Amino acid sequence: MNEEERAQIVSEIKTMMRTSPIIIDLDRFGIKVKPNSEYKIGTHVGFKFQCKNPDGLTNALLGSQEFNLDSTSTVLGWFMQLATHGVGFRQIGKARSIHIEIDEQDCDIHIDTHGIVAGLGVYYFKGMEGHLNWDLIPSYFPTLHLGRNSFLGPYVGLTDSLDEESLLEGLATHGPVLPKLSKATLGLLSRAEVGVQLYIGEATGLRATVSGLGDEAKIWGSFETRIGGDAALRFSATSNEAKLTLGGSW
């Protein structure tokens, strides 16, 4: 990555932060980009920085209606905070969004291709699935780069949508955890889809996957892309079945 590309990453993220709907100027809090920390790993784009006024930046994010704190006082917030250094804030929305990690020594800000926060304290599974495959897996697992923006890597998803409330919120409610976890796990396994994906854009990919277990297993070929802010088009086909999903949220 050359200096022009590094500067472009910093400029894009700062611009996203200081313009509507966020309107938070990072430079007001004395941020300093760490040398050579700008990155584009998989589809993740961001940079690391030091902040002279981390408390001021934290308070600005807490006072913003555009960001959600991954609060450790809730089950889901604690889970989302596991891979975060310091305190994590995620922009609310189901499409492209900002994720900020604030720590006294080492802060990080990057763009997630798929948002996972539907509202204050409200997470949703479909966004997590997209975030996993377009952001996390390409960033942290081995991928085969085939060009500037194309690469081949693992894919993990679901062939059918889940009742997110029963899966996520149900696990967080009072009562025996094991029966709920067992039911949720079986529901996931019955819909699980694993394979490889050719990433050909920020939220566009071709994939070959296997879904189901045993005699119910099916081999799928799929294409998925984003159309508009938070809507997707997906076409999947196997030897005796085809599915077309148009619209809806990630």
Contact of 49 with 141, CB cutoff 8 Å: no
| Residues near 151 by beta carbon (within 8 Å), at least 6 away in sequence | 42, 138, 143, 144, 145, 198, 199
pLDDT at 95 over 50: yes
User: Which of 45-59, 217-231, 236-250 bottoms out in mean pLDDT, i.e. has the lowest?
Assistant: 236-250
Share of the chain above pLDDT 90, in %: 43
pTM score of the predicted model? 0.81
Token digits of residue 135: 């952001």
Which carries the bigger pLDDT value, residue 121 or residue 58? Answer: 58
For residue 186, the model assigns a pLDDT of 62
pLDDT at residue 60 in the model:
97
